[in-house]
Structure 1
């Protein structure tokens, strides 16, 4: 009886961390390690209880096969996945792609069934070798940027084939199915040319909507990086350059709201003003803003660089729920705690699945720059989404004794969690052939894809 009681207690402890429905997806960039001084970000700087999902950006592709990109990747894979010993509910995915990756390798890979299968099998092998929980596709973008129009359908085939291969591998190996997500654009142009939304939505576990880089120094006037709403004066295409349009357009195209994860930037876009007499939204600019001391990219500043601006004046674009700063001839549109709270209120109203952060390393992760404590932006998301901390006690799921027929459920199964085909809001835990039955909290159903209770 003692041993069984220990196992039951362990199961309950694990379940306490997988009840929350909202996702907080954080990207980890493997180049942030090279920033100077206190801005250098390493796996040891990750709080294992901060985000529900961590996505490592980016892997590479060679000869149609998934491979590492940076010499330290393998060690970082191990370091990050070791965080799951502290938080067993943390899911860690590996991403391939990104803006600088371009489209050619993706286009060449999906062009033939043979190369597509080579890639898929390499993904499964690579993820299992390094203990990842899933895979994130960041193809920017099928059907655009020298990617041919046929890649729209081929991207769908890629997603569907990955999904089916993950199911088949899980059934054969007895391991939890690998998760599958994709980072997708906010704008109508790239969406229409590259995405069969209803089809890919069925195969993806969640959709990371990149609702940032909406304005930047590729334009000749100031505009916010990630405005929640349009300004009344904006018409035509300009009225579509905001988070609200992007969300509504993806939902209109058929994306399930609970699979859409709203992108939140922990950085801002900066401009050099043409004149100090015109400093508002839409003011003329002469080019990119001055590079930050740590990120060293023109027109781009991490949050910890914005919060330390001296002699800057800070303003709020009330119509867009978006802040900006002016320092001399520098104009910076960024996000802060207040704008993040507004976006969480919005995503709740829309019934979205949670928030995605690009990226974890650009928040004030040590609390040394902004005097707001470690991770002020992401901690705000965590609190507003209602995600429990490691030292909190969320309401536990109820448990009951299995019926006589249910007592035999685990006799031919390995240890793990299993859905109840008769009742979607209940599930079984199998431990050494013994059956334990649990109930999800009201309104939630059990999903084997995440071994958690989630919204239906």
Structure 2
């Protein structure tokens, strides 16, 4: 009871602070504290397994995780039923069987969508009750057939207020269907989660501002997962920046602001699972002698389209004798060698971000993605803060 009362007290204080600010969230209002005692619910140490990579599911060390997501399944653009491709017919059994006898055990979910999927398909599916029902029924059938423990929606992103309203309806109808399914089959209810924008209010260049349905998330989802990364990138900016800044004194593009906005919108901390990247963003510097955060850049740097996995960053730094610096303002690392510049997280910054999540009594965190770490260096950091 003492732990529960402490959590309630901290949440109340946080919410009072956010209510005072109608326009922005000050970086002083959510300063990380020392690690908290674990809340009375199961913490989430999640990670996504991309089925399109060559990292075997059987190689996942489950002592670092509680929940593993299969990424991704996609709905058919016409019928809205989940499309199980020939690749999925091979990969899903590999995923389920590769984890089934692991110890400690983990929960498995499949994620629908992803950054490369057409958001207009989700928008069309969510428009009517009939199409939502077809989609929902299909997801439950797939989960039960293959033995998943839950379902995750990764709609990137609802484009307007109508999409957000329909998303709220989808969440509610989905939850009701899952409850009914559990009763009929006398099995535990499938988990329902959703990967979302880093902040509850989406304000993107040229787009209509729109607010996620916080009340529906609170009522119907087991948790929501803000993707707290991709804040800056060489594909759309001509200056360097922190891929996953915890703080940014000059803008609201930070995890501190994003998580704060979710709490302010009415989503309780115990329903927030904070996203962390196992990759960095790369730039080509305009002038190798000007190499701080915000330095002018002329294009993408090494790696794949301006991104580089953590394990490859470690190799790059060593091979190129790169200069490595920690930026205390953004709580991130960057390295440079010649005109190549990389923003990424390492052990020190990950620890501080996990302390931040723990200090707010968040449900936990997830990583994108498995296969990008180096000997579980980053993955193991969460054991201190979020227990099974």
Question: How many correspondences in the alignment?
Answer: 337
Structure 1 runs of 4+ aligned residues shifted over 6 Å read none
Residues 394-413 of structure 1: pairs in structure 2 closer than 5 A = none
- Matched residue, 2:23: none
**Who is 1:46 aligned against?**
60
> 2:18 corresponds to which residue?
none
Instruction: Tell me what 2:284 maps to.
Output: 272
Listed one character per residue, the Cα deviations across residues 361-414 of structure 1 (whole Å, up to 9, x for unaligned) are 2112xxxxxxxxx21100112x222536xxxxxxxxxxxxxxxxxxxxxxxxxx
Q: Does 1:189 align with 2:202?
A: yes
Q: 3-state SS of the aligned residue for 2:273?
A: strand
TM-score for the superposition, normalised by structure 1: 0.71
2:364 and 2:386 in contact (8 A); partners too:
no
Question: Cα offset for 1:84?
Answer: 2.8
Residue pair 2:241, 2:294 contacting (<8 A) in 1 also: yes
Give the secondary structure class of the aligned counterpart of 1:219: coil
Say whether 1:322 aligns with 2:332: yes
1:446 is aligned to: none
SS at structure 2 position matched to 1:345: helix
Conservation of the 8 A alpha-carbon contact between 1:43 and 1:76: no
Residue number among 275, 281, 288 corresponding to 1:263 in the alignment: 275
5+ unaligned residues in a row in structure 2: which ranges?
A: 1-39
- For residues 291-318 of structure 1, the C-alpha deviation after alignment (integer angstroms, 9 at most, x for no partner) is 2xxxxx2210000110011211100111
1:305 aligns with 2:319: no
* Partner in structure 2 of residue 207 of structure 1: 224
C-alpha distance in 2, partners of 1:259/1:89?
A: 22
How is 1:53-452 mapped onto 2 (pairs within 5 angstroms)? Answer: 53-62=67-76, 63-69=79-85, 71-82=86-97, 83-87=99-103, 89-142=105-158, 144=159, 148-187=160-199, 188-189=201-202, 193-217=210-234, 218-231=236-249, 234=250, 239-291=251-303, 297-309=304-316, 310=319, 311-364=321-374, 374-381=375-382, 383-387=383-387
Equivalents in 2 of 1:337, 1:258: separation in Å?
25
Where does residue 420 of structure 1 map in the other structure?
A: none
Q: Whose RCO is larger (CA < 8 A, sep 6+)?
A: 2
Deviation at 1:201, TM superposition (A): 2.2
**Change in CA separation of 1:103 and 1:246 when aligned onto 2, cut-off 3 Å:** same
Equivalent in the alignment of 1:409: none
TM-score by length of 2: 0.83
For the residues of structure 2 that align with 1:241 and 1:213, how far apart are their CA atoms? Answer: 10
Q: CA RMSD in A?
A: 1.7
CA distance in structure 1 between the aligned counterparts of 2:41 and 2:379, rounded to whole angstroms: 17
Q: Give 3-state SS (helix, strand or coil) of 2:365's partner.
A: strand
Q: Which one has a bigger Cα radius of gyration?
A: 1
Residue equivalent to 2:4: none
1:104-132: CA deviations, max 9, x gaps? 21112112221111111111111101111
